[in-house]
Amino acid sequence: MTTSETGERGGFTLIEVLLAIALFGLLSWIFVGASNALFADKGLSPDEQFWAACAAARKEALEERKSVLLTVETKDPRTRGFYLYDGSSKVALPLSGPEDLVVDFHPVQSDSSSSSLIGGTLVETQPLAAATFYNDGTCTPFRAQVRTAAGAHLLAVDPWTCAPMLTPSDATF
């Protein structure tokens, strides 16, 4: 705001008005972007939920010094999820995703009679009942098959670290 040489108060200059509008616009843009990111509910993918369940099973096995069984239930929508069982207690980890989501555990070494080609996708047909995570930080060698109407894919688990196993396509030279 300017004052004249006689001491009378004048109005705002064009520069002051434009600066105030620009500042207001910048602050609005920052707050709207931050609130969108804050309120956006990005659920975990089924793959991320599986790896979180593996990490939880391994952590419980190491902390409790007991073997922990990891099972999965996808048939009943009310009980759909991963379950950790250490012999005395059962912990449920909910599984979200499409209604047709199916997650199965399969042995690493499978013979040709335990897989079928369905719709151009190789699907394992002989699932394991559970995967065991041991108190030394290892787990039984297994793979997880994630299936939806869109297709199926396998997640390979490293039995020594219970983490994702790298495939040749993951390697960069």
Q: Are residues 65 and 142 in the same domain?
A: yes
Q: Which comes out higher in pLDDT, residue 161 or 75? A: 161
Q: Which of 157, 148, 124 is nearest to 74 (CA)?
A: 148
165 assigned to some structural domain: no
Q: Mind listing the pLDDT tens digit for each residue in 64-73?
A: 999 999 999 8
Mean pLDDT over each residue of the chain, to the nearest integer: 82
Q: Dig out the tokens for 133 from the structure.
A: 């995570």
Question: What pTM was computed for the model?
Answer: 0.65
Contact 93, 53 (CB under 8 A): yes
Average pLDDT of span 134-153: 88
Domain count, the chain: 2
Residue 133 lies in a domain: yes
pLDDT at residue number 56: 93
Q: Residue 152: in which H helix or E strand, if any? A: strand 151-156
Do 81 and 73 touch, CB atoms closer than 8 A?
yes
Average pLDDT over residues 6-30: 87
CATH number of 127's domain:
3.55.40
Which helix (H) or strand (E) is 35 found in, with range? helix 14-39
User: 20 is in which domain, residue-wise?
Assistant: 11-42
Contact residues for 31 (Cβ-Cβ < 8 A; gap 6+): none
